[in-house]
Amino acid sequence: MTTSDIAMEIYQELLDTLSAALLSGDHARFLAHIVTPHRMVTDTKTIHVPDLDSARVHFDRLSQSLRAQGITQYIRIASSARFDGPDQIRGEHISHMLRGAVPAAPAFGCEMQLICRDGVWGVLMSRHKARYLSWPELLPQRPVGDPK
């Protein structure tokens, strides 16, 4: 296995872990992989998360928003990952949010910077390449097509 393969495996495993935690509302599992201070970037704003208490607030809002929108699958597929030193990985992935088998929003690209502390990989920075994205809600609060 090459170092590139190892980086991809670590990156994808973390994507899967974070997505499952978001959908199940498991804040402890999610926050175990968030490094603070943390930075989230979209095409329209940058959000600084100074500590885990703030990260918990963002987690709760995002997890609740996904459930309110009926999101049943949050699939993130790694497209690239590379080591930037023995304890750092930079990667890119595509995010898909589905209601059953139906897309709830257009897929969008993302980047993450990971670091390993005490043997645990965590996200230091995430960039969501989407103009329609507002953090942490990701989607409108009403289901798509709801005229109200």
CB contact at 8 A, 27 and 56: yes
- Give the CATH number of domain 3-129: 3.10.450.50
User: What does residue 21 show for φ and ψ, rounded to 5 degrees?
Assistant: -65, -40
Residue type, 94: I
- Residue-wise pLDDT tens digits, 69-112: 899 999 999 999 999 999 999 999 999 999 999 998 888 899 99
Q: Model-level pTM?
A: 0.87
Closest by CA to 114, choosing from 19, 12, 45, is 12
Q: Which residues contact 93 (CB under 8 A, 6 or more apart)?
A: 11, 12, 15, 76, 77, 78, 79, 109, 110, 111, 112
